[in-house]
């Protein structure tokens, strides 16, 4: 009888522990893969787009798909540690101008599934995932908009699938091959990221939205309930090729050979306040034939995340770029 009483007394504790365990692991949809609860994306400022999903390599990939489905697509690729929320100011005016906009979340970011292992996040993995998405959606005559890792991935996808792309707008991005090593701005960022990896966490919202207030910081934090969801943001800065023998460097050199003969319209729109990519637009203007004669621009009073700070202005540049360069 005494044993029964003790067991009965323990039942509430056992139930509580089980409930806590379900809370901790409830969003781990399979071993090592996390999916952010939908409610974390409710009532975000300016972000009320209907979600769309595709299954890519066993992961659920989220993308925004706005505008006339028969119109030529504009593919907007974010970098790290941001997500498609970054493009919320650009999507409505670009759609209103008659375009279809596709804005995916990279695997590990936004509403897409989040592998907990940093080993999943290779340069080749993300290039393959975006390639699969555009193939699954059968996107053609694409205008690419790439920034940060959105450019490292997008430019590779375009170089490896040139027949699917009509135009490229590059904003605060690049295609590094490791020659010359990283510049001082990126060296500082790498040092910070290495410290973040040592503690196993990253203040995503603060990094992207710190000058815009708590509501915007919370929106950039929304995809990441805790550190277990942040393998992508933590590891991707370490994947940028900063030496010629690093994974991705050889493939980027091959992509550059494509761009040295790229005659389709190519526009640079960098900001004036980004220490990481400063001066990087010049190499594209000089080496890419399709950049000749384009109305290259500098977005003033903006930092690295220029879509957040000057999204409407960048959207206007993009719309004009498409109008100035109609399909042949």
Distance of CA 111 to the CA centre of its chain: 11
Q: Which residue has the tokens 């299954």?
A: 55
- pTM of whole model > 0.85? yes
pLDDT tens, residue by residue, 249-302:
999 999 999 999 999 999 999 999 999 999 999 999 999 999 999 999 999 999
Q: Which two tokens stand for residue 166?
A: 């009509």
Sheet holding 33-34, edge to edge: 28-30, 33-34, 114-115
- Under a CB-based contact definition with an 8 Å cutoff, are residues 105 and 75 in contact? no
- pLDDT value of residue 14: 38
The CA distance from 244 to 251, in Å, is 10
pLDDT at 172 over 80: yes
Is cis: bond before 81, omega within 30 of 0?
yes
Output the pLDDT for position 2.
43
For residue 19, the Cα-to-chain-centroid distance in whole angstroms is 34
Task: Calculate the average pLDDT of the chain.
Answer: 92
> Between vectors from CA 143 to CA 161 and to CA 300, what angle results, nearest 5°?
125
Q: What is the pLDDT of residue 6?
A: 43
Query: What pLDDT score does 5 carry?
Result: 40
Taking the CA atoms of the chain, what radius of gyration do you get in angstroms? 21
CA 223, CA 216: separation in Å to the nearest integer?
13
CA 143/CA 165 separation, integer angstroms = 6
Structure tokens at 81: 């540690």
pLDDT of residue 13: 41
Whether residue 314 contacts residue 306, with contact meaning beta carbons closer than 8 Å, is answered with yes
Task: Please list the active-site residues.
Answer: 148, 274, 304
- Lowest average pLDDT, out of 14-23, 175-184, 318-327, goes to 14-23
Domains in the chain (CATH in brackets) are 49-323 (3.40.50.1820)
pLDDT at 26 over 60: no
Give the residue ranges of DSSP H helices in 118-169: 123-136, 149-160
Which residues, in sequence order, are bridge partners of residue 100?
73
The two three-digit tokens of residue 121, written as one number: 């996040």
Choice among 16-25, 55-64, 142-151, 202-211 with the minimum mean pLDDT: 16-25
- Residue 44 has what pLDDT? 98
In tens, the pLDDT along 115-169 reads 999 999 999 999 999 999 999 999 999 999 999 999 999 999 999 999 999 999 9
Q: Are strands 51-56 and 59-66 parallel, antiparallel or unpaired?
A: antiparallel
pLDDT digits (tens, 9 = 90+) for 191-244: 999 999 999 999 999 999 888 899 999 999 999 999 999 999 999 999 999 999
């Amino acid at each position: 009888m005494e044993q029964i009483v003790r067991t009965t007394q323990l039942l509430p504790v056992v139930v509580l522990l089980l409930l806590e365990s379900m809370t901790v692991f409830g969003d781990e949809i399979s071993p090592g893969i996390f999916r952010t609860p939908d409610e974390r994306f409710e009532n975000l400022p300016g972000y009320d787009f209907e979600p769309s999903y595709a299954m890519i390599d066993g992961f659920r990939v989220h993308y925004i798909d706005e505008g006339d489905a028969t119109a030529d697509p504009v593919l907007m690729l974010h970098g790290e540690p941001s997500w498609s929320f970054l493009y919320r100011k650009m999507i409505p005016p670009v759609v209103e101008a008659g375009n279809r906009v596709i804005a995916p979340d990279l695997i590990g970011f936004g509403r897409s599934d989040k592998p907990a292992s940093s080993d999943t996040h290779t340069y080749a993995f993300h290039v393959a995932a975006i390639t699969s998405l555009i193939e699954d959606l059968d996107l053609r005559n694409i205008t690419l908009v790439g920034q940060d890792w959105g450019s490292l991935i997008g430019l590779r996808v375009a170089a490896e699938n040139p027949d699917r792309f009509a135009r490229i707008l590059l904003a605060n991005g690049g295609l590094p091959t490791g020659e010359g090593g990283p510049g001082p701005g990126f060296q500082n960022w790498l040092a910070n990221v290495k410290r973040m990896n040592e503690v196993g966490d990253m203040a995503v919202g603060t990094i992207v939205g710190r000058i815009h207030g708590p509501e915007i910081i919370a929106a950039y934090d929304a995809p990441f309930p805790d550190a277990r969801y942040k393998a992508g943001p933590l590891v991707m800065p370490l994947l940028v090729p900063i030496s010629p023998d690093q994974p991705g460097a050889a493939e980027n050199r091959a992509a550059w050979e494509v761009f040295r003969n790229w005659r389709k319209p190519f526009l640079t729109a960098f900001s004036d306040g980004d220490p990481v990519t400063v001066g990087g637009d010049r190499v594209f203007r000089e080496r890419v034939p399709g950049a000749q004669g384009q109305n290259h621009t500098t977005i003033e009073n903006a930092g690295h995340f220029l879509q957040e700070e000057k999204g409407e202005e960048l959207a206007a540049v993009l719309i004009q770029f498409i109008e100035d360069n109609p399909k042949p």
